[in-house]
Structure 1
Amino acid sequence: MAASRLALISKKIIKPSSPTPLSHRIKKHSIFDQLNPCSYISFGMFFPKQYNPTLPVDPTHISTILENSLSRALTSYYPLAGTIRDDGLHVECNDVGAKFLEAKIDCPMSEIFNRNSAKAEELIFPTDLPWTPSKENLVVAQLNHFNCGGISIGLCVSHKIVDGSSLTNFINHWAAMARNPSAPIPSFQFDGGSHFPPVSSPRAEAILKSKTRGNHPCISNKYFFSRSKINSLKAMIAAESGTKSSSIVPTSVEAASAFVYKCIASNSTRPSIFTQSVNLRPIMKKWLPEEFQGNASFLFMAPEIADPADIKLHRLISELRKEKQMYWETKNLMSTMLEKVKSLQNQLERDHDDEVDVYKCTSLCKFNFRDIDYGWGSPRRMCLGSVPINKRILLMDSQNGDGIELLVSLKQEDMSALETNSNLLEFASPSLGL
C-alpha cells in the first residue's frame, strides 16, 4: 500500500471558539514541560462503519462535528492553540489555532489492519509529522475517510504541552464536546510553571537530547503480551525474588517493561541503564489544583548494570520502587527533583558518548483511551505512531483490555536480534499489523 492512495481533500486552521483572556496569554513552562521535547505525540483511532451504525454517512457532517468540537475543546486547552517561543521557557497563547486536515483513502479500512503499521501510518497521520519537532500548530489532526464508509482520526499533539495523561484528557474532552455541542466549556489550569519552575538550561539540554536522540536509523516493532502470559511472567519474577517474606510481586507494566529491557540488553556486552517515565500526579495532588493539565511525568532511573548477564528482574523492579518511594516521602518535591536532574544529566550524557546504553520506557497503560466516544461509539482500534528514537519502549493497554502492547524502537541490527530472542517469544507475540 502506498501513500499515493491518499488524496488530501482540505486543510484548515481551527481556532478556539472563544478568545483566550489576556491574563492567560503567557504560559510559563514547568520543569516537566522543559524536560520534554517539542515533538508531537501521535495517536490514531479507527471507527469502521460496520461496527458503528451511528457513524454519520455524510463525510461533510463528520468533519463539521469534529471541527466545531475541536474549536470548543481548544478554548479549554488554550496553550495547544498557541506558539512555543524561542526562549524555550514559555508558550504564547495567541489563538493561532490547530491544523485540521481531511483526506480520502482509496481502500477499505480492513485492508490496512493486517498490514505493516508503518505503511498505515503513511496514510492516517499527517505526512512526516509524528514525533517530529514543532513550535507552532501544536495540534494537528487528520480525518481520514475510507471507501467503506469508516473513518480514522490521526492526532499529533505537542509533548511540550501534554504528557500521556493530559493527552488522554484532551482527546476525551474533544469527544465530549462532539457528543454534546451545548455542553458547558470547562476551565482547566496550566500553571505548573508557578509551582515547579524550570532548571538551568545545560542540565535540561542533556535530558532533552537523550529523549530525541536518533543518530542511528531505527525501526519500531510491536509486541503483544496476553493477560495469561503476563501472569506467568509476574509469577516467574516473584519466584526469582526469593523467599515469600521478601518476594517482589510486580505490576503488569513493571513485569513487561523490565522483561523486554532485559531481552534487548542481553544482546549487548555494554553496560546499560533502565529508565521509566512515571506519572507524578498522585504525589503532586497536595501542590496542584484538581483542574491542572499539562506535563507531570518524570524520568526514574535504575542503577547502571555493567554486565547484561547480571540483570535480575526482581532487583531492577525493587530499585525503581525505591526511587518512587523517595518521591512519596519527600516534603520538598522540587528539591528532590533537582537532585535527580543532576544525576540524570550525568548518566544521559554518557549515553551521548556511547559509554552506556540508556533505555527509556513510557507507559500509557491505565489511561482512559478505550472510552473515547465522539458520538458514534468507542474506536474499534487504536495505535501509537512509530517512534524514530533509538532504545525507546512504549506500553499501552491492548484494545480489549486482555493484555499489553509494546512498541519498541531500536537500530536495525538490535531489532533483528530481538526478533529471534527465544526468551521474548516465550511470553510475547509479534504484532505485524495495527
Structure 2
Amino acid sequence: TPCLPTPCHLQYYKLSFFDQISVKEHVPIVLFYANNKFINNFTIDERIEQSLSKVLTHVYPAAGRYDKDECSILCLDQGISYTKAKVNCKLNNFLEKAHKDLSLAALFWPHENKYINKSNLMVSPIVTAQVTEFECGGLAVSLSSSHPAMDGFSNIKFLFEWAKVCKMETPIENINFLRFNLGNVFPTRDISRLFKSTYDPVIEKDIVIRRFSVTR
C-alpha cells in the first residue's frame, strides 16, 4: 500500500475515452538484475518494498480499484498485489536457457489469473508485482498492470522511477513523474452503441513475448 494516504480530492480518478475502449487485460514486464554485492539481501528486500510504497503514493490510481461503472478508479489505498519468491537456479543459467526459449520469462511475472476476479473487477488489484530471488542473489522484478489504468509507457516509467527511488532512496517529496489528467482532455463517453464489451472471458489469446537487451 502507499506509505501516505491519497488526498481526498484525488480519491476519484476518471479514466479517459482511450482508457475506456482498451481491453482490461494485464500488460506484464519483467526485468533481470545481477547480484549487487554491495547491498545484502535483507537490505535490498527492505529497500524494494519501501521504495514501491513511496512510488505508489505518487501513482495513486495503481493502488486503487475500478469503480462499478468501470470508467473510473476509486483511489482509496487498497494496495497492489505484491509477491516475493525464490528459485533454485542461478541467473546466468536461466538467461542462457531464456535466450533459446523466451517463454521461460513468463515464469517470473505475476499471473493475473491468480489474483484477478474477472467477474468483479471492483475487488481485483489493478497492479500486481513480483520480486524473485535467484540462488546467486540476482533478481527478477516484474510488474503487471490492467491496461486502462496503466499502459505500456506508464508501466515502463513506473519501473524506471521505482528503480531510481530504490537505488537513491529518494524522499517522497522529491518524487514527481506522470500526470493523471488525460480524463479531463478526453472524457469518457457512452460507448454502448459503438462497441461490444471490451472483455470476452471465453476467447483465449496467445501470449507474445519480446526481449530487450541492454549492453554496456
Q: TM-score range by the shorter chain?
A: 0.7 to 0.9
- Secondary structure of the residue aligned to 2:156 is helix
Structure 1 residues 71, 148: CA separation in 2 closer, same or farther (over 3 Å shift)?
same
* 2:69 maps to 1:83: no
Matched with 2:79 is: 97
Shift of 1:48: 2.2
* 2:175 maps to 1:185: yes
1:57 is aligned, of 40, 59, 71, to 40
Which structure is larger by alpha-carbon Rg, 1 or 2?
Answer: 1
In structure 1, C-alpha distance between the alignment counterparts of 2:197 and 2:152, rounded to whole Å? 18
1:44 is aligned, of 30, 38, 42, to 30
- Secondary structure of the residue aligned to 1:79 is helix
1:166 is aligned, of 138, 151, 154, to 154
Structure 1 residues 156, 199: CA separation in 2 closer, same or farther (over 3 Å shift)?
same
Matched with 2:13 is: 27
Contact 1:34–1:204 (Cα < 8 Å) also in 2: no
Structure 1 residues 182, 48: CA separation in 2 closer, same or farther (over 3 Å shift)?
closer
Matched with 1:69 is: 51
Matched with 1:141 is: 129
Letter in 2 for 1:176: K
Contact 2:80–2:127 (Cα < 8 Å) also in 1: yes
In structure 2, C-alpha distance between the alignment counterparts of 1:127 and 1:162, rounded to whole Å? 16
Unaligned regions of 5+ residues in structure 1, if any?
A: 1-14, 223-382, 384-397, 402-434
2:106 is aligned, of 115, 121, 125, to 121
Structure 1 residues 70, 208: CA separation in 2 closer, same or farther (over 3 Å shift)?
same
Matched with 1:155 is: 143
In structure 1, C-alpha distance between the alignment counterparts of 2:178 and 2:209, rounded to whole Å? 36
Matched with 1:206 is: 196
Contact 2:20–2:188 (Cα < 8 Å) also in 1: yes
- Secondary structure of the residue aligned to 2:196 is helix
In structure 2, C-alpha distance between the alignment counterparts of 1:99 and 1:38, rounded to whole Å? 17
Higher relative contact order (CA 8 A, sep 6+): 2
TM-score by length of 2: 0.82
Contact 1:142–1:155 (Cα < 8 Å) also in 2: yes
Shift of 1:201: 2.5
In structure 1, C-alpha distance between the alignment counterparts of 2:166 and 2:34, rounded to whole Å? 18
Contact 1:35–1:207 (Cα < 8 Å) also in 2: no
TM-score by length of 1: 0.43
Shift of 1:98: 1.5
Shift of 1:206: 3.4
Structure 1 residues 219, 80: CA separation in 2 closer, same or farther (over 3 Å shift)?
closer
Structure 1, residues 400-428: CA drift from partner, whole Å, max 9, x if none?
38xxxxxxxxxxxxxxxxxxxxxxxxxxx
Contact 1:40–1:129 (Cα < 8 Å) also in 2: no
Letter in 1 for 2:20: Q
1:16-415 mapped onto 2 (5 Å cutoff): 16-49=2-35, 52-54=36-38, 56-58=39-41, 60-113=42-95, 114-115=97-98, 116-122=101-107, 124-127=108-111, 129=113, 135=122, 136-183=124-171, 184-186=174-176, 188-203=178-193, 205-206=195-196, 208-209=198-199, 215=203, 218=206, 220=208, 383=211, 398-400=212-214
- What RMSD in Å do the two structures reach over aligned CA positions? 2.6
Contact 1:76–1:186 (Cα < 8 Å) also in 2: yes
- Secondary structure of the residue aligned to 2:141 is strand
Unaligned regions of 5+ residues in structure 2, if any?
A: none
Structure 1, residues 312-331: CA drift from partner, whole Å, max 9, x if none?
xxxxxxxxxxxxxxxxxxxx
| More strand by percentage | 1
In structure 1, C-alpha distance between the alignment counterparts of 2:140 and 2:109, rounded to whole Å? 9
Matched residue count: 205
